[in-house]
């Protein structure tokens, strides 16, 4: 089993008679380009996934290994997204919720309850609770964060092939110094979030 505290939230749900509990998290709220991705995962209770942690604290190599392990061993898993046009239309906070709701809705079997990373769950239709720093406190949310992060990084690597001048594979769309230099040089491409560029 992972460190015991990593399962406290899931254990509390089980004590309330909730067996199918999913964790949900997103990746890519901060970049200037591309979709925001979300993962939703129902794990077998107490499963050991070596090195599982908040995706930001896991090396890319370990994330790739965990990505496969989670998909192989989860009771259910899903990845969804909201694209840059949706982000511009409804704002990034609502787009994050939309992506998580889409991922949760794809789960089969459907969850009875959801643990949502962060401090808001507007638009999440399944009964849920929010968990601040959830990817450090819940195995299910950490697993969801891995699926979201790896999926988004791979998507940005594909976008790098379409728009090589922006070096998306290098910075994944985040507002690095280099990315801003390339934006000034070439202007925005179709996957840039126009509402994010107003600040530049």
pLDDT, tens digit (0-9, with 9 covering 90-100), for 70-124: 999 999 999 999 999 999 999 999 999 999 999 999 999 999 999 999 999 999 9
Which residues make beta-bridge pairs with 130? 116
Q: In whole angstroms, what is the distance from residue 13 CA to residue 90 CA?
A: 32
Mean pLDDT, residues 5-22 taken together: 95
Which residue ranges make up each domain of the chain? 4-154
**Cis upstream peptide for 109 (omega within 30°):** yes
Measured at the CA of 153, the angle between CA 34 and CA 57, to 5 degrees, comes to 120
Give the model's pLDDT for residue 105: 98
Q: Which of helix, strand or coil describes residue 55?
A: helix
| pLDDT(12) > 60 | yes
> Angle at CA 102, nearest 5°, toward 99 and 105?
150
125 C-beta neighbours (distance < 10 Å), count:
10
- Kindly report the pTM of this predicted structure: 0.96
CB 110 within 8 A of CB 95: no
Confidence of residue 1 (pLDDT cuts 50, 70, 90): very low
CA distance 37 to 44: 23
Q: How far apart are CA 32 and CA 99, in angstroms?
A: 17
The highest-level CATH class for domain 4-154 is: alpha beta
What is the DSSP code (8-state) at residue 4?
G
- The pLDDT value recorded for residue 3 is 66
Q: How many angstroms separate the CA atoms of 198 and 200, rounded?
A: 6
């Amino acid at each position: 089993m992972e460190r015991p505290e990593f399962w406290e939230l899931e254990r509390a749900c089980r004590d309330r008679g909730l067996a199918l509990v999913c964790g949900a998290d997103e990746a890519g709220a901060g970049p200037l380009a591309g979709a925001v991705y979300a993962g939703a995962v129902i794990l077998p209770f107490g499963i050991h996934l070596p090195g599982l942690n908040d995706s930001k604290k896991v090396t890319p190599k370990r994330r790739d290994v965990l990505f496969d392990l989670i998909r192989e061993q989860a009771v259910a898993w899903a990845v969804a997204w909201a694209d840059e046009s949706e982000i511009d239309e409804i704002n990034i906070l609502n787009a994050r919720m939309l992506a998580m709701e889409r991922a949760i809705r794809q789960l089969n079997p459907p969850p009875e309850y959801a643990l949502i990373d962060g401090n808001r769950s507007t638009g999440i239709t399944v009964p849920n609770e929010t968990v601040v720093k959830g990817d450090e406190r819940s195995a299910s949310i950490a697993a969801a964060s891995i699926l979201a992060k790896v999926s988004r990084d791979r998507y940005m690597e594909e976008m790098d092939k379409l728009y090589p001048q922006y070096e998306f594979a290098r910075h994944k769309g985040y507002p690095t110094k280099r990315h801003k230099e390339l934006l000034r040089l070439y202007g925005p491409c179709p996957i840039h979030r126009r509402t994010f560029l107003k600040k530049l």
